[in-house]
Chain A
Amino acid sequence: MSALPVTLRKRLRTLVRDVPFDAVRNIQWSLLDWREILIESLIRLAGISSIIIVGMIFLFLLREGIPTFLDIPLRQLFESRWYPNEGLYGMWPLIVGSLIVTVGAIIVALPLGLITAIYLGEIAPEWQREILKPLIEVLAGIPSIVLGFLGWIALAPLIQKLGAPTGLTALTGSLILAYMALPTIISISEDALYAVPKEYRDGALAIGATRWQTIRHVVLPAARSGLVMAVMLGIGRAIGETMAVMMVTGNAAFVPTFGADMALQPVRTMTATIAAEMGEVAQGSMHYHVLFGIGIMLFLITAAINSLAGRLVGTSGNRRRGGQL
């Protein structure tokens, strides 16, 4: 007790004095004091340290990456030639590569994931759900390298039969990524659907809505924020993925020619570029800085996605404000 600063002691006293019950007021003082304060400061320390660590990672990324944007004119950075050995650091092919692969993955995973979640949460009988739900959660735990391997051995030959010169293409990457994002999307969406009160369904059914109408007009809108979160986390997983994508996209740093077979050309993503080249660059060289520059770009993209997700989920105030039924 005596070890405590006087002001703090006063604060605690007033705090306790406000409690109306004598019994509470007579709690052993010294015991309450130091334990409470110790635990509180430990919690605070843990919280603050994680903030500091994140901040330091960000600072490090900036310190190593900023020279890219200072020394190389922006126009050159967005050129379409990525030949680091010759001092050409055009990131455009990498950005386009990431974009194609990610967008492709979303196009496949989003409808599939949501529909599966709706089936699991709303339509499937109990016994099917009990089998499928844990299975899907196990899927989420498969290491990405294993999926990359599968893509290489099993998927690539199939893609090649579609008429691609090689099976290692943007499409292959998209499919593998979609597969990786699926468990996240399904599992979180299903949780969101599950959280919709049973009374909503009863209410809608009782006024003559069919099962599908209930899902479409009541359950999905009510679960909206959770569904958006599921999709965003799925996308986040897809865009940041490295190993599997590096194995199956062919890793050619070219901008694919625009057209119907765009997805059947090899591409290289931003993440794969960093992973593939970081081991070979001289620390402190321009190439080294540019790789960190790519890291900054990725960071900005994911930050943008996250804040977009936050914004969309935030407007779950739609529920509060009342959207259109």
Chain B
Amino acid sequence: MQAKISVQNVSYTYADGTEALKHVSLTIRANEIFVLFGPARSGKTTLLRLFNRLSDLTPGADYRGTILVDGQDVFALGVNVTDLRRRIGMVFAVPTPLPGSIRGNLTYGPHMAGIRDTALLNERIERSLTQAALWDEVKDRLDHPASRLSGGQKQRLCIARSLMLEPEVLILDNPTSGLDPISTSMVEESLYELKQQYTVIMVPHSVQQGARVATRAAFMLDGELVEIDTAERMFKHPKDQRTEDYITGRFG
């Protein structure tokens, strides 16, 4: 299968000297659900924020190595960061609807990208919301404020907001933290739908969730990549003792 994102020997050190990533190399394939798991502060978010260069917002950090998206170095000179972020959507642990209506939240990204055709936007709104399993709940109140949605709805709105730009990759950084079980299963179900069209990278809320959704998975610990394998083997027969300990709940 084709490599969508290729991480080659990446190290990352924050300005305060924290080594967040140590020589990480991995490959993420197109149209898979790639699960990145590990204890807190193991470098998962740091790695994800490099993919769409949100790491640019962190001053003074030291970055080494190469990250290729579709074979192109994301840190190369002349890369259009805005364009990169449109191709690589990201949803955060905390739902972050922007101030404004549901519709406003959804059309914001396309507006910034210069898409203003109402018919096209409406079509995308319906498709994105359907993919995010939110359409039925909000179709009659698109002009209501996004802040009035429930936590689970807000998170699905954020997923839909990323889908509005028809990205190639969708990064979900612990999207179900703070969601109730029903909302969580709704988000999880929408993932299978998304996989058809997008490459999904996800930090799961728990090992169990990772095992439920993953095609392939990688286990990270203290900024190092411990193990990477198909979900089947990773969660049933891990090769590394540390992975096994973590999966079986012996630490972390």
Binding site for B on A (CB under 8 A): 125-126, 197, 199-210, 213, 217-218, 221-222, 318-325
Contacts and interface: CB of A to CB of B under 8 A. Distances in A.
A206 B89 contact: yes
A207 B146 CA distance: 17
B89 A320 contact: no
A203 B112 contact: no
A321 B146 CA distance: 9
A204 B145 contact: no
Given A126-B59, A213-B112, A207 B100 contact: no
A325 B90 contact: no
Contacts of A324: 100-101, 104
Contact of A325 (B91, B101, B158): B101
Contacts of A204: 98, 108
Contacts of B91: 206
Nearest to B80: A208
A208 B94 CA distance: 19
Nearest to A127: B59
B107 A207 contact: no
A322 B86 contact: no
A206 B54 contact: yes
Contacts of A320: 145, 147-148
A207 B96 contact: no
B112 A208 contact: yes
Give the interface residue-count category, chain B.
35 or more
A contact patch SS: helix
Given A202-B54, A203-B92, A208 B109 contact: yes
Contacts of B86: 207-208
Contacts of B97: 203
B89 A207 contact: yes
B113 A208 contact: yes
Nearest to A209: B112
18 contacts: A199-B92, A199-B94, A203-B92, A205-B57, A206-B54, A206-B90, A206-B92, A207-B108, A208-B113, A209-B112, A218-B98, A319-B99, A319-B147, A322-B148, A324-B104, A325-B99, A325-B104, A325-B107
Contacts of A222: 98-99
B243 interface: no
A203 B100 contact: no
A221 B146 CA distance: 14
Given A319-B99, A322-B102, 15 more contacts: A199-B92, A202-B96, A203-B92, A203-B161, A204-B108, A207-B108, A207-B162, A208-B82, A208-B86, A209-B82, A221-B100, A320-B148, A322-B144, A323-B99, A325-B100
Given A199-B92, A325-B107, A206 B52 contact: yes
A195 to B, nearest CB: 13
Interface string B188-227: 0000000000000000000000000000000000000000
Nearest to B86: A208
B112 A210 contact: yes
Contacts of A319: 99, 145, 147
Contacts of A202: 54, 57, 90, 92, 96
Most A C-beta atoms less than 10 A away, residue of B96, B102, B109, B146: B96
Given A206-B52, A322-B144, A325-B105, A197 B96 contact: yes
Contacts of A321: 145
B137 interface: no
A206 B162 contact: yes
Nearest to A126: B59
Interface centre among A202, A203, A320 (most CB of B within 10 A): A203
A203 B89 CA distance: 10
A207 B115 CA distance: 13
A96 B120 CA distance: 54
A325 B96 contact: no
A20 B165 CA distance: 54
Contacts of B161: 203, 207
Contacts of A126: 59
